Amino acid sequence: RKEVEQDPGPFNVPEGATVAFNCTYSNSASQSFFWYRQDCRKEPKLLMSVYSSGNEDGRFTAQLNRASQYISLLIRDSKLSDSATYLCVVNILLNTGGFKTIFGAGTRLFVKA
């Protein structure tokens, strides 16, 4: 079983739509969680961190359910510029005290006019 699993999509949505992505993780030593965005042929960039209480940044809302080991990202009022691959990311605490960052395979989103 992969440590971080996501629906690869693609999700094809019209402008203005609301779209939600889900992610599950398997390692209970997972400590912190993020969503990254990767545009075609570009490097990944941090979109937002995910907190236990849930957090919002403009049109983007992230949720974490530690009991179910589940993370979500909600995008409201989709824009053409939201078209990208969204990567679910988990930091796992190592025995050494450091951590390892694991990326999901990503969910592709296409927003169409």
Partner 1 sequence: DTAVSQTPKYLVTQMGNDKSIKCEQNLGHDTMYWYKQDSKKFLKIMFSYNNKELIINETVPNRFSPKSPDKAHLNLHINSLELGDSAVYFCASSQVQSLGGELFFGEGSRLTVL
Among 5, 55, 102, 110, binds partner 1 (CB under 8 A): 102
Cβ-contact 102, 23 below 8 angstroms: no
**Residue 90 binds partner 1 (CB under 8 A):** no
Under the criterion CB under 8 A, does residue 66 sit at the interface with partner 1? Answer: no
Contacts of 89 (CB under 8 A, 6+ apart): 4, 33, 34, 35, 36, 101, 102, 103, 104
| Segment interacting with partner 1 (CB under 8 A) among 18-26, 65-73, 76-84, 86-94 | 86-94
CB 109 within 8 A of CB 18: no
E strand or H helix at 62: strand 60-65
Does residue 96 belong to the site contacting partner 1 (CB under 8 A)? yes
Residues at the site binding partner 1, with contacts judged by CB under 8 A: 31-32, 34, 36, 42-46, 49, 85, 87, 89, 91, 93-94, 96, 98-103, 105-106
